[in-house]
Chain A
Amino acid sequence: MNIASNGDGRNNAELATGLFDDYSVNHQFFDEMFSSEGKPYPHCELLCRSLDSMPPDSLLKMQSQVEQSFLRDGITFSVSSENNTLERIIPIDCLPRLIKLQDWNHIDSGLKQRLKALNLFLSDIYNESKILKDGIIPVDMIYGCSQYRPEMRGISLPQGVHVSICGTDLVRDNDGFKVLEDNLRVPSGVSYMLANRKAVKSNFRQLFRQYSVQSIEHYGALLRQTLNELVPHNTDNPCVVVLTPGVYNSAFYEHVFLAREMGIEIVQGQDLLVHNGFVYMRTTSGLKRVDVIYRRVDDIYIDPLTFMPDSQLGVPGLFHAFRLGNVAIANAPGTGVADDKSVYSYVPDMIRYYLAEEPILPNVETYLCRNPEDLEYTLDNLDKLVVKMVGESGGYGMLVGPHATPEARDEYAQQIRKDPANFIAQPTLDLSRMPCLTPDGAAPRHVDLRPFILQSREINIVPGGFCRVALTEGSLVVNSSQGGGGKDFWVVAE
């Protein structure tokens, strides 16, 4: 099967009939399914043939059924509006994204290398600060970072693990995979990875078997094992809990999902108390000691005595218990300093510094507006760049230069000039594309990938990730809060 292939996206090659009739490859963007000649990659041929033989209507029906099953199962996220909170599903596109095992192994190595370095970095800056003393990273960038927690200074964690759960965003262009950002605080999306797998697997049973897709279903067990290994004292059966801000948090479904997958309790701040430096939860049979907290609450809310005094979500005295080593918190407070968008640009240097290795996965080229030369370049090229605020996430507070109006760019430039250190800029990424189901057949949409990396005694990754897709034609924004959806991601033997 061939599909259209040219530089401007118009259809001018031999056409197949069926799902991919109007699909075309644009050379500017790497296509996850078709080569630049318009042929499916060898590992995608079986999928393409199979999809192409299915009536598009049946795929759309399947997609609708999957979305209904998400609603029925309560796989939703909350969106707050002025008057109320709505539950929405994250749209799923049923066509899976495939990657060769060989390519995955490359990613796997790169992600492990990266998390290892990031944990060494966090241990270092909260203790000896050698990397700062050696001038590898500017001191003011770390100590001036809003996510740096001086309260963490001098705390040595078991195995030196500050980040136990990491979600790293990867993008792919014609040069290969690159790291867009690391999410080291409370990365979300893993429940959708698993839900998408369950839904797509049940609809493509035969294909799934033929491909021998690598399993990801053991993520819950692996996460539980990771958290068990963080327990700061000897106990056979540690009490591990998920700490959630509550039902109004947009990721609440995921918090409950993970608690269920791990067979542990999900607690809110009001369920916990600290007594004599130990943490307890209130149960129907009295107080029960808690050993490990997988917190899905931001640093500043976890303990009103240490961080934000008016926090209603936290537990008074929790940080004290943590500092005494009587309870483990994953991820540890203060990890956000390492996923600050300015610090991100130094991760390759961290890898070289701590591991004496070259980074396996490159960063996206980044301009730090705190540097006068980068600032000047950014302001001169706003129409070509994506500019982000260093402390924001979820696609908020950013300017996509090529898509912004001149007025919006001018307004944003003023903000940058006021506080240059709060901004970084990156080239507009040529995010890879792949077929997505539309009422008119398959159409190309941009995708990224968030694999989840777990570290305690060792580093583990399930072979997969939450593949996010920008469902709007031409859009590069994949965030679920801004109209993005998800896809299942298959690691397959070639």
Chain B
Amino acid sequence: MLSRNAYGLYWIGRYMERAGFVSRLIIDQLQAIQDRPVEDIHVGWKRLYSTLGTRPISVDLDPNMDDESYMLADVFTLTDDLVFETHNPDAVLSCFATARENARQIRNNITYEMWTCLNVSYLEMRDVSLLDIWETQPEDFLTKAALAVRTFNGVSDSTMYRDHGWHFLRIGLYQERVINITSLLRSHINLFPTSEAHREWNWSSLLGICEVRSAFRNLHSIKFNPGHVVEFLFADEQLAISARSAMTIIQQVLTDLTADYPDQKDKPGIQVRNALALFDDQWPNRNKQDDEEALAMINSVNHACQLLNHELEQNYFFYEIEDTPPA
């Protein structure tokens, strides 16, 4: 497959996953606004922005502000920035727009169904403003966006030929997932250390963002033990959204790619294999009372995935021409 097209698919995977993740982060925060005390809302914003690695725009997140002022001054502006602001590359609409622009450039490498799914979702969102949805249920709009991402993933899965394009789409999706989950866990543990007593709501909210509350309840009953939640989201092999599951899939895809072309450099695979080994060797043997140790491992996995981007570019997308091309 043409390298540029593979690169486009890789970024479609990343941006679509990011769109879904940011949507779920905001849904959680908007729900908190309905019935949580202002301190929780404040910490919620901190977790959100820390996870995204950005800062809120032009808004003073002062937890001492009274409830009404807080709602009027901040929530609308922040939500607008995170959903509709075209200059914010992480905004939900921007993610859809960028994924769609990538898709537009490589339409001969994606199926008609994938294009239609993505294009229609984008067109439906494009002409909406926060004002249009604010008075009713802004969460519905975001739930629809998250659903569009899942639909796109399902349509891709059911219609796309299993060639290199498919592999790179999946790498992008799962790489973004690992980065998102590990960033969220890192932010959350920094704000709510597992050893400290916290209201259950914070940990329930974390599971809600990842849409795994009921899966967790089925496994651990209704008690949201912080250690169990971290274990579940980071290292559970059966949980599709866990960092470990996503890393395992990336590893499998990279193996498939190099199996087709044994002379291809295996550097990206090495990075991922090392990170995966951590789940088997170091993670089970860590001191479970020590958040710092857990955070170091979470950071390590996050870092491996951040590096993967560069390694893929060097090996598949923008590689140097060193050898004599085939005659």
8 Å CB contact of B6 from A260, A264, A284, A289: A284
Assuming the contacts A71-B123, A72-B123, A260-B108, asked whether A286 and B261 have C-beta atoms less than 8 A apart, the reply is yes
CB contacts (< 8 Å) of A449 on chain B: these are none
A283 interface hit (Cβ, 8 Å) = yes
Assess whether A283 is in contact with B325, with CB atoms less than 8 Å apart. no
A284–B168 Cα distance when bound, in Å, is: 10
A54 interface hit (Cβ, 8 Å) = no
Using CB atoms, name the residue of chain B closest to A279: B325
A210–B119 Cα distance when bound, in Å, is: 35
8 Å CB contact of A284 from B115, B120, B316, B321: B316
CB contacts (< 8 Å) of A276 on chain B: these are 324-325
CB contacts (< 8 Å) of B306 on chain A: these are none
Assess whether A247 is in contact with B101, with CB atoms less than 8 Å apart. yes
Assess whether A267 is in contact with B123, with CB atoms less than 8 Å apart. no
B31 to A: closest C-beta gap in Å: 32
Contact string, A396-407, partner B, CB cutoff 8 A, digits 1/0?
000000000000
A358 interface hit (Cβ, 8 Å) = no
8 Å CB contact of B5 from A73, A265, A275, A287: A265
CB contacts (< 8 Å) of B257 on chain A: these are 284
CB proximity to B under 8 Å, residues A281-337: 281-287, 289
A271 interface hit (Cβ, 8 Å) = yes
Measured as residues with beta carbon below 8 angstroms from the partner, the interface class of chain A is: 20 to 34
A266 interface hit (Cβ, 8 Å) = yes
Assess whether A287 is in contact with B321, with CB atoms less than 8 Å apart. yes
CB contacts (< 8 Å) of A273 on chain B: these are 321
CB contacts (< 8 Å) of A270 on chain B: these are 4
Contact string, B291-327, partner A, CB cutoff 8 A, digits 1/0?
0000000000000000000000000110101001111
A85 to B: closest C-beta gap in Å: 11
Residues of B within 8 A of A (CB): 1-6, 101, 104-108, 112, 115-116, 119-120, 123, 164, 168, 257, 260-261, 264, 316-317, 319, 321, 324-327
8 Å CB contact of B108 from A246, A256, A275, A285: A256
Contacts A/B (CB < 8 Å), 5 sampled:
A73-B112, A265-B5, A284-B3, A284-B168, A287-B325
Assess whether A74 is in contact with B321, with CB atoms less than 8 Å apart. no
8 Å CB contact of B3 from A73, A266, A271, A289: A271
A204 interface hit (Cβ, 8 Å) = no
A36 interface hit (Cβ, 8 Å) = no
Q: What is the count of residue pairs linking A and B with beta-carbon distances less than 8 angstroms?
A: 82
Assess whether A74 is in contact with B107, with CB atoms less than 8 Å apart. yes
Assuming the contacts A265-B108, A273-B321, A289-B326, asked whether A282 and B120 have C-beta atoms less than 8 A apart, the reply is no
CB contacts (< 8 Å) of B264 on chain A: these are 285-286
A79–B5 Cα distance when bound, in Å, is: 24
CB contacts (< 8 Å) of A257 on chain B: these are 107
CB contacts (< 8 Å) of A268 on chain B: these are 4
8 Å CB contact of B164 from A246, A265, A280, A284: A284
Contact string, A49-72, partner B, CB cutoff 8 A, digits 1/0?
000000000000000000000011
Using CB atoms, name the residue of chain B closest to A76: B104
A199–B243 Cα distance when bound, in Å, is: 46
A330–B182 Cα distance when bound, in Å, is: 51
CB contacts (< 8 Å) of B120 on chain A: these are 72
A278 interface hit (Cβ, 8 Å) = yes
A267–B4 Cα distance when bound, in Å, is: 8
A259 interface hit (Cβ, 8 Å) = yes
8 Å CB contact of B2 from A71, A74, A246, A283: A283
CB contacts (< 8 Å) of B106 on chain A: these are 256, 266
Assuming the contacts A72-B120, A74-B115, asked whether A267 and B2 have C-beta atoms less than 8 A apart, the reply is yes
CB contacts (< 8 Å) of B326 on chain A: these are 286-287, 289
Using CB atoms, name the residue of chain B closest to A266: B108
CB contacts (< 8 Å) of A289 on chain B: these are 325-326
CB contacts (< 8 Å) of A280 on chain B: these are 325
A17 to B: closest C-beta gap in Å: 39
CB contacts (< 8 Å) of A281 on chain B: these are 2
Using CB atoms, name the residue of chain B closest to A244: B105
